[in-house]
Amino acid sequence: MPADSLSSFALRLAEQLRHGGETFSEESTFTQTARELFAIQVERNSVLRSWCQARGVRPNPELSWRDIPAIPTNAFKEADVSCIPVPERTAEFHSSGTTTQSPSRHFHRPESLDLYAISVRAAFARRMGSAAGQRLLVSLTPPPAEAPHSSLVHMFQILGEQSRPGRTTYFGKATPSGWTIDHRRLEEFLRTLTGPILLAGTAFNYVNWLDTQPGPPIRLPTGSIILETGGYKGRSRELPRADLVDLLTKHLMVPAASILTEYGMSELSSQAYSDEAAATEAAPHLRFPPWVRTRVISPETGREVPAGQVGILQIFDLANVWSTLALQTADLARAQSGLFQLLGRASRSEPRGCSLLSLEIS
């Protein structure tokens, strides 16, 4: 295998993604591509290699993408799930989470970040149309310089650069106790807008903002999009999505259909977006672009559950070229016809017990 096999794979993939990535809707194309990438990753990623040995799976011409052993996302917290040699790592994305635990670490290099950017743009364009990126990005997160390890901020930056480089506005600030927002400055800014924007933030950003008694409602320019992402993780009160949508539509005077939910994680290189009809659903139906597939497996048997049943979400992302394409999340999901709904996380609490939470795994 030539040393640049991943680079050449990435170049070919990027070319497909620039054209929308539709070709991967074809099952055989996806499987063939996944098989090819898997074979290189097994060679280059020792964690994946030992995992495959333990699972008794080797790259072979009959392998379906479904058979590729998925690495638990927790493994990124303690092992080097990467094909990039140590000296060549130029960036790393960390999972947000509790400070008591070490975060997931997903390593990158310039080529992987290039592909990441292409994947972000292509997925967003597929969902919102190619003109969607023309809107000015207004982000509730801190700027990239303040959050260099946030894949979310990096993703927002990519969406922002697409339209008017250098004009993205960040209203968040990274503080030792977490991200905060300058609510007053944000509201003032939103009142002066003339053209449509892409307002981007995490669900807890929005709740924190709208919980601080904002001023009178603001009418966002027609055509604006609100992007809502990430869970709450205990940083604000948790709101059912319908209530968050209600708060947003009232305060920003936008139709519910312009509120978009995004699902991604630091261990991935692509994102899923809520389906068009998602606005008022408690758990919106999400869809990945065609270069990402999902399976929902039974925690008991490890086998795929029938459509519509709840299980553990596995994600197969072809754009995850330099780590592992197959991941097993800690999220519970239900899938049907190419869409999936998130239904919480694997229970972190001690089940019905009177035991301790303080000594979680590792």
Partner 1 sequence: MSLPNLFLADLPPEAALTPQLVQEACVAIKRNRANWLLHRSTQELVELLAYAAERWLQPEYGLRRLALSLAPDETGFGMATLARGLDTFFKQLTVENLNALLIQDLGDSRRLDEFCAPPGELRQGRLAHARGPELLVHFAAGNLPNSALFSLALGVLTKSAQFVKLSRSGSVIPRLWAHTLADLEPKLGSCLELATWAGGNDSLESMILSQAECVTIHGSNETIASLVPRIPAGCRLVPYGHRLSFGFIGADQLSTYQSQKTAARAATDVTAWNQLGCLSPHLFYVEERGVVTPEGWADQLAQALAERERSEPRGELPTDIAAELAGRRSLHELRGARHAATREEAVTVPRGAFFDGPQGATRVWASPESTAWTVVYEEDPRFRVSCLNRFVYVKPCRDLADALRQAEVVRGQVSTVGTAVSESRLTELAPLLARWGVSRICPLGRMQEPPPGWRHDGRPALADLVTWTDWETV
Contacts of 140 (CB under 8 A, 6+ apart): 170, 171, 172, 181, 186, 199, 200, 201, 202, 205, 206, 209
- Report residue 201: phi and psi, to 5°: -170, 170
Residue 98 as a binder of partner 1 (CB under 8 A): the answer is no
Residue 353 as a binder of partner 1 (CB under 8 A): the answer is yes
Residue 360 as a binder of partner 1 (CB under 8 A): the answer is yes
**Residue 239 has which token pair?**
């709101």
Residue 359 as a binder of partner 1 (CB under 8 A): the answer is yes
Residue 356 as a binder of partner 1 (CB under 8 A): the answer is yes
Residue 355 as a binder of partner 1 (CB under 8 A): the answer is yes
Using the contact rule CB under 8 A, the part of the chain among 116-124, 144-152, 188-196, 348-356 near partner 1 is: 348-356
Minimum distance from residue 120 beta carbon to partner 1 (Å): 25
Using the contact rule CB under 8 A, the part of the chain among 68-76, 124-132, 157-165, 193-201 near partner 1 is: 68-76
- Report residue 313: phi and psi, to 5°: -85, 125
Within 264-303, the residues that bind partner 1 by CB under 8 A are 299-302
Rounded to whole angstroms, how far apart are CA atoms 350 and 357?
7
**21 vs 311, beta carbon nearer partner 1:** 311
Residue 352 as a binder of partner 1 (CB under 8 A): the answer is yes
- HSE, CB side, 13 Å, CA atoms: give it for residue 87: 0
Answer for which of 77, 121, 235, 285 binds partner 1 (CB under 8 A) is 77
Minimum distance from residue 337 beta carbon to partner 1 (Å): 21
Minimum distance from residue 8 beta carbon to partner 1 (Å): 23
Answer for which of 311, 320, 321, 327 binds partner 1 (CB under 8 A) is 311
Residue 71 as a binder of partner 1 (CB under 8 A): the answer is yes
**Residue 163 has which token pair?**
């339209």
**176 vs 353, beta carbon nearer partner 1:** 353
Answer for which of 74, 134, 163, 169 binds partner 1 (CB under 8 A) is 74
Q: At what angle do helices 110-128 and 151-163 cross, to 10 degrees?
A: 70
What are the residues facing 231 on neighbouring strands?
none
Residue 102 as a binder of partner 1 (CB under 8 A): the answer is yes
Q: At what angle do helices 203-210 and 241-252 cross, to 10 degrees?
A: 60
What are the angstrom distances between the C-alpha of 353 and each of 18, 350, 356? 51, 6, 9
**Residue 316 has which token pair?**
């197969």
Answer for which of 94, 105, 154, 285 binds partner 1 (CB under 8 A) is 105
Minimum distance from residue 261 beta carbon to partner 1 (Å): 21
Answer for which of 8, 25, 53, 64 binds partner 1 (CB under 8 A) is 53
**Angle 152-34-319 (CA atoms, 0-180°, nearest 5)?**
20
- Which letter, b or e, does each residue of 284-320 get, where b requires 16 or more Cβ atoms within 10 Å of its Cβ? bbbbbbbbbbbbbbeeeeeeebeeeebbbbbbbbbbb
**Residue 60 has which token pair?**
């072979």
Within 28-47, the residues that bind partner 1 by CB under 8 A are 46-47
Q: Which residues of this chain interact with partner 1, rule CB under 8 A? A: 46-47, 49-51, 53-54, 71-72, 74-75, 77-80, 85-87, 102, 105, 299-302, 310-312, 328, 330, 332, 344-348, 350-356, 358-362
